[in-house]
Amino acid sequence: MRRTLPSLPWLVAGLALGLMAARLALAPRVGERTPAPGASAASTAQVRLAFSQPMDEASVTRRLRFTPSRNGEITWDGTTLVFRPAQAWVSGETVEVRLDAGARSRRGLTTWTATHWSFTVREPRLAYLWPAGEAADVYTRTPSDADAVRVTTSADGVVDFTLGARGTQLVYTAERGAGETDLRGIDLETGQDRLLFTCPAGERCTSPALSPDGSLLAFVRAGVQSSGNAVLPTAATRVWLLTLGAGPAVPIGPEGDAASTPFWSPQGWLAFVDLTRASIVLIDPSAVDTDPPLAAIPSTLGERGSWSPDGHYLVYPDLVFPAHEEVEAERAPALETHLFRWEVSSGELLDLSTQAGVGVEDAAPVFAARGAWILFNRRMLAADGWTPGRQLWRMHLDGSGAEALSAEPFINHGAPAPGPQETTLAYLRYDVEQPLEPAQIWWFDLETRQGSRAVEGGYLPSWIP
């Protein structure tokens, strides 16, 4: 039988189909998406799109859209686009993400179809320890839910805890008996609880601080000694740094210095209080042996500070000599505590409390989520303004616009913890006329200036976004 060759049009069509199939096979594709389609995500959730090959970054950015619209920062982790929203997503809303077709790879190939999906934003949760005076565990609850959820189940109790990795991980100090402790971590997305560090026998590890990306854990390590029926840490304390899942912990800072209270900047720098040198020390964790450190900020009081969300400023309380005569004559002059703002780029130190014009005790500064306000506690020392309890206050970043949020003279307001949405504040509250009663955690509505009790006997409030 005689075979007939295909006609030219069929050859052209076949060749075109083959080329199209080859381009489809070689075209860049979107793989894993985070948050996953249909997921319930934190209000601070990052959006991540993993591509199958290196991309022309500008061509991707031009085609990425969010509904509702949201400004933010776009970075790349290899072939994965990472979008960090400038403001928290609104709890309860559905966020739609769309990448239009036509994004190019570095080889000039384009995506053929659009990629779109959505996720919902869950309500932020307040985490805290409960009950006071007993073996405590970490619990969470939301402002709209009266029922608390138990997060940890430690047999001997939890000492303290920290949140990191944008609120997706929780690290806590678990009592082990004989005054010793272990450090454990919980993945708040999966609920997995695992041992992170076994503190050596005869030692106590506390004050965990998790780096922003969740890869590094700083903590304080000290020996323990018996004192009557109590087991207490020794005065010699040192900050240690652990790379999670990779190697042993290493000590930070000069040997012999009494160091405590590690905390992280948004850039991933590690800060801690060095009581021996009366300073807050700032180091680059990738160069822990570098001498001198990045900075040593003078601090007589020895308390940690709070970083602005952009990492440009550190605000912390410190002692100052009395400079006002308004304190009542029958009381000994009280030392003032002021809030100081340290600027990273210039090293400039600014006293934010002098604008009060009178003696004050300012404490516990913390930035609101967007960085426009500093929340703190204040007691006026002037004779006509002094109160037994500290009140809730807020001020602008430069110390201007200071205003009282509460006016309850016999209630001490402490540990302010502004929520991610900047509408609700949690704080620790106790009645100075009832010193034997346990402290309470209260909600405070920043718009209506009204408060309500959240937890009786709770303490150490912190938000899970």
Token readout for 35 is 């948050």
DSSP assignment of 374-436: EEEEEEE-STTT--SS-EEEEEETTS-S-EES---TTEEEEEEEE-TTSSEEEEEEEETT-TT
Which residue is associated with the tokens 């913390």? 366
Give the per-residue pLDDT at 334: 64
Which residue is associated with the tokens 């801690």? 272
pLDDT in tens, 211-222: 988 899 999 999
Give the per-residue pLDDT at 46: 87
Please give the biggest Cα pair distance in the chain: 123
Q: Is residue 164 within 8 Å of residue 212, measured between CB atoms?
A: yes
Give the per-residue pLDDT at 32: 92
Give the per-residue pLDDT at 418: 93
DSSP assignment of 54-105: -B-HHHHHTTEEEES---EEEEEETTEEEEEESSPPPTTPEEEEEE-TTPBB
Give the per-residue pLDDT at 331: 52
Give the per-residue pLDDT at 398: 94
Token readout for 135 is 């073996």
- Supply the pTM of this predicted model: 0.82
Report the SS3 class of residue 20. helix
Distance separating alpha carbons of residues 354 and 340, to the nearest angstrom: 10
Give the per-residue pLDDT at 56: 95
Q: Is residue 386 within 8 Å of residue 328, measured between CB atoms?
A: yes
CATH for 16-121, among 1.20.120.160, 3.40.50.800, 2.60.40.3710, 2.40.50.460?
Answer: 2.60.40.3710
pLDDT in tens, 159-212: 999 998 677 899 999 998 778 899 999 988 788 999 999 999 888 999 999 998
- 156: DSSP letter: S
Give the per-residue pLDDT at 327: 46
- Least Cα distance to 429 among 411, 408, 443 occurs for 411
Q: What order of strands is seen across the sheet that includes strand 80-85? A: 30-34, 47-51, 80-85, 72-77
Distance separating alpha carbons of residues 453 and 464, to the nearest angstrom: 19
Distance separating alpha carbons of residues 222 and 234, to the nearest angstrom: 6
Positions in the chain whose pLDDT score sits under 70: 1-25, 165, 226-235, 289-291, 322-334
